Structure 1
């Protein structure tokens, strides 16, 4: 497999992955629409991500919702790394048609072409997401393993953010493994579930090996600092550098598994190159839960800029409380071990941020949109 198509290859994960694969001797084609939300108003001239790959890949400025663009992009390719997607839990709850069209219909067009025309594709690696788990895996002191329902607005309005079971018993958080219940709590999560399932179902019937990676919260140098809809590290960084206070949702104890971009690239390449990955689904993370308050304080320390941190008790419908990855499967089958954990990753990320221009803080714009839709309380 020498010719690799990366959809969304000008994005954060895609551009880093493309450069690493080029170093390994692969020929890379990128299909990307250069979304202004990610790349800015003049992406072909000002986007650092696009400029990093511009003269090193065969670039197609197009969209996964176009059959014509897919046909062009698929020509003479041996494998596809399908990263192109609309991302962001909150925005997905009111941009429903857009998220569904890009994430589900875009994938369906790709598979329809591959199922009905001669091609040379041997493997498809798809970027799935931890969001498909919804609220993660927990242990009840009497019932054992349970998967609690989504939190109720009524409970959160009363300040009850932690998950309980039907008997109001407090639950113990566990790492989420790949056999855990799939019950996404957002439109984004639903579209990623559909995207993963359709690829894992169709590919074996047409002689293509599928691999799915359920990425946790990916971060690192190069991620967009101007997109207010996704990426808590970027959002907080932009607020701090603008000397704006940080407004923490819920009680600040909600947690995520933050995985560094280099580890994500490494895992994805293992999935591309190893036959042991064929037909399998893997978590990609660090296996460590970090709460939001710790994130905010770590960034404030890293930048040396003191801004107020306020616990607001406000919340977004569709957000989950906790999730972190069980990595047993990817360690066993692919030999993957995360190398960069949160403390070191924050240092690398913040050092890069300090070299970038300070971006406009647009978080209030995105929150106003959600508030008007009744999704931000």
Structure 2
């Protein structure tokens, strides 16, 4: 069976390609080798070198019909991972995010609708960003799905999520797939659009679609060059350059970090199990970690003396907490995360220690957001 992985030279894609190869699949990769991910010289990219010369590789772009046509030849399964990622950057590079994430997906589905092909299933990479703040409980009003936090509150140093009805603080709950979808960033909006576009078209042409709402994916191979996304890689690059770590808000914001092997396992389950057809699934770890704790753990593991500053600054479009409810993917697909955070972060740090120290461009990304009025 032949599987096309768009974005297959990236972090998730390269690891998935190797896993599928081990399972006997024929793999073809479509990737544009973005400089933001792979640097100026892709031959020095860790993830590109994982797949280089091992698979059929098509250098091309998902915004190009002809590149899709070349890549789709004799393909049975499409795993569509190629996308622009990063919440903050999406808030000012709006056209690029919409063009690549929505436009690129539209081109794929238009070809599958109108041109001869043998595709039997499409896996689309979504994100927990489709939920916005996610699911919370108010002591007065029960289950609520809060809107984005107000600028006026955060200016006062109040970063807690409020009930949309009474405005009192609410308690975070694991967010399940039936939760309200109301993304708070352009990136999240594009991911919701990708999901819905694929589901609508897939049903109309009878090609099953599976959407995976990834939480914060991490592990060896995560880009250390990209200053716009990936807390662990951003903090690691700063530490290795001897630069202090600045923590947004009060440091108590939390994320669900899911290890790369668990993510690729989930994708394989989606490919091989028909119970996944036309369903959306959270893919997470089942545990949440506060950002300040992450910085302290990394500082200790790297034996670094950099300082950690809790700044009170914040970015528009950021959420406060996230934790994916895994009930559905466990019950339907038998998914179970194999890596807790302690095991996963140790593997990640060990890998970083073996890599060349990358230039730290994080401050430049912050300056960009300041100029756009998105960093307060």
- TM-score, length of structure 1 as denominator length: 0.99
Tell me the distance in 2 between the aligned counterparts of 1:127 and 1:295: 25
Q: Secondary structure, in 3 states, of the residue corresponding to 2:360? A: coil
RMSD of aligned residue pairs (Cα, Å): 0.7
Residue 334 (structure 2) aligns with: 335
1:144 aligns with 2:146: no
1:101 aligns with 2:138: no
Residue 2 (structure 2) aligns with: 3
Q: Secondary structure, in 3 states, of the residue corresponding to 2:193? A: helix
Q: Secondary structure, in 3 states, of the residue corresponding to 1:63? A: coil
Residue 247 (structure 1) aligns with: 246
Which aligned pairs between 1:36-115 and structure 2 lie closer than 5 A?
A: 36-43=35-42, 45-115=43-113
Q: CA deviation at 1:167?
A: 2.1
User: What CA deviation, in whole Å up to 9, does each residue of 1:277-308 have, x standing for no partner?
Assistant: 11111000012111100110010111111211
Q: Where in structure 1 are there 5+ consecutive unaligned residues? A: none
Residue 371 (structure 1) aligns with: 370
Tell me the distance in 2 between the aligned counterparts of 1:343 and 1:199: 36
Runs (4+) of structure 1 exceeding 2 A deviation are none
1:177 aligns with 2:180: no
Tell me the distance in 1 between the aligned counterparts of 2:261 and 2:329: 16
User: What CA deviation, in whole Å up to 9, does each residue of 1:94-138 have, x standing for no partner?
Assistant: 000000000001000111111011110000000000000000100
Q: CA deviation at 1:178?
A: 0.1
Tell me the distance in 1 between the aligned counterparts of 2:122 and 2:271: 8
Q: Secondary structure, in 3 states, of the residue corresponding to 2:190? A: helix
Q: CA deviation at 1:207?
A: 1.7
**How many matched pairs?**
375
Tell me the distance in 2 between the aligned counterparts of 1:214 and 1:160: 29
Residue 201 (structure 1) aligns with: 200
Tell me the distance in 2 between the aligned counterparts of 1:346 and 1:150: 30
Q: CA deviation at 1:142?
A: 2.1
Tell me the distance in 1 between the aligned counterparts of 2:280 and 2:61: 26
Q: Where in structure 2 are there 5+ consecutive unaligned residues? A: none
User: What CA deviation, in whole Å up to 9, does each residue of 1:141-199 have, x standing for no partner?
Assistant: 12110011111111111111001114232211100000001000000000000001000
- TM-score, length of structure 2 as denominator length: 0.99
